[in-house]
A and B are shown apart, each in its own frame.
Chain A
Amino acid sequence: MKKFEPFADGVLPWLTGLAMLAALAMVFLYVPTERVQGVVQRVFYFHLPAAWMTFLGFFIVAGASASFLWQGDRFSDLLAQAAAEVGMVFCSLVLITGSIWARPIWGVWWTWDPRLTMVAVLWTIYAAYVLLRVLAGDNELIARYAAVLGIVGVLDIPILYVAVRLWRGIHPKVERMAPEMAWTLLVCTGAFLCLFAWLLWLRLRSLSLRDEVAALRRQALASS
């Protein structure tokens, strides 16, 4: 973790800030208004990147969980935990921005469309993961349990996707995008990626600081 520190503490916050400003400027000033849906379509440039970050979070959780079960190293465990928490934040963002868009376009805040259903279920899987960590306490055993949940959760995604797909469907598909829209989406995705990385880093560091504090406390108790 040490070798990322100069970059993550020195560069990443600024990079995230600048990218966010650029993304906002592009969303509000640069990109043309969509012809059919109007202004509200602009929320899409935050919605889709947030959805991608949700999936990225899930894959980091699964990868780190597998690596933790394989090697038993503390870093993988902390990474999985941090990625789950940050992923859950982005998953909530997807749901919120989606609702804001759906109200004027579909006339309802929520509908049981496959993708909406899927993100809602993913949110509950994330929530179960985070709650397991919170409710069950923090030790080697729980870390292993969380890793199992992380892996099983990812295995559930494809079959969940098939099931809700067959169940029903009205979500719009993006067919063709104007180049300005594609550029805006790209910049927004970059900004969200930076934000994701930065939040992940902050969480990771605070979790490892918590470890250090616990170790110091044990040391102090042992020596007193």
Chain B
Amino acid sequence: MMWALLWKDVRLELRTKERVSSLFVLALLIVFVFVFALSPEQAQRPEVGAALLWVALLFAGMLSLQRAFLIEQERGCLFGLLLCPFDPGTLFLAKLVGNVLFLVLVQAVVTPLTLLLLGARFSWSLLALPLVLLLGIVGFSALGTLFAAIAVRTRAREVLLPLMLLPLLVPLLIAAVKVTGALLAGADWSGVWLRVLLAFDVIFVVTGWLIFAQVVRE
């Protein structure tokens, strides 16, 4: 059932390619804006580069989330979906995996490109970066999917989503930037931040899965 729901979203995306393409350009633009706002020299420092990568991911991801439930919102599609005999938690997981998929796809291009633009030096420790990105994206998407479903059905949804999401994402952001910065610097990085990311993912994927029924219930 979950795969059917996921496949629906993926197929819609394959036909329009709207979300992935806008997400991609937006993430790159945010990187550009930061480089111009700082200066190329400053942006080359590993900890600044790490911050830049994650801020771009967060803000671009947030705009992509705004659209995650927009299709369902129109013409009562969500209601139709909920009439199907499955647990609403399944819908949450499907949406979550969809969001993760799109973000991973975009980051698979944006991250190497950003590193290239910032002139980051290659080191073997960079091979751990995909894992960190994946953990961060899963945590971000878990809370993001939950609150996107909430925001889409309120007035002022554009403001409300970042308002609710950003404070809750602070631990994720700190942990992700710390690890990424260490990886970019080729320095020793402690596994404790990975554990924070992992704990964040587990807590909020489970919470979202359990509580989602309350969000979509009519």
Q: Which residues of A contact B (CB under 8 A)?
A: 69, 121, 124-125, 127-128, 131-132, 135-137, 141-142, 144-145, 147-149, 151-153, 155-156, 159-160, 162-164, 166-167
Contact = CB atoms under 8 A, between A and B. Distances in A.
A159 B171 contact: yes
Given A144-B214, A148-B146, A155-B203, A125 B167 contact: yes
Contacts of A166: 192-193, 196
Contacts of A124: 166-167
A121 B207 CA distance: 20
A155 B204 CA distance: 8
A145 B156 CA distance: 14
Most chain A beta-carbon neighbours within 10 Å: one of B154, B155, B167, B200: B167
Given A137-B155, A164-B171, 16 more contacts: A128-B163, A131-B163, A132-B160, A132-B164, A135-B156, A136-B156, A136-B160, A144-B217, A145-B154, A152-B146, A152-B168, A156-B168, A159-B200, A163-B196, A166-B192, A167-B174
Interface of B: 143, 146-147, 150, 153-156, 159-160, 163-164, 166-168, 170-171, 174-175, 178, 192-193, 196, 199-200, 203-204, 207, 211, 214-215, 217
16 contacts: A69-B214, A125-B167, A131-B163, A132-B160, A137-B154, A137-B155, A149-B164, A152-B211, A159-B200, A160-B170, A162-B171, A163-B174, A163-B196, A164-B174, A166-B196, A167-B178
Contacts, number: 86
Give the interface SS of chain A, mostly helix, strand, loop or mixed. Answer: helix
Given A121-B170, A156-B168, A163-B196, A141 B153 contact: yes
Contacts of B211: 69, 148, 151-152
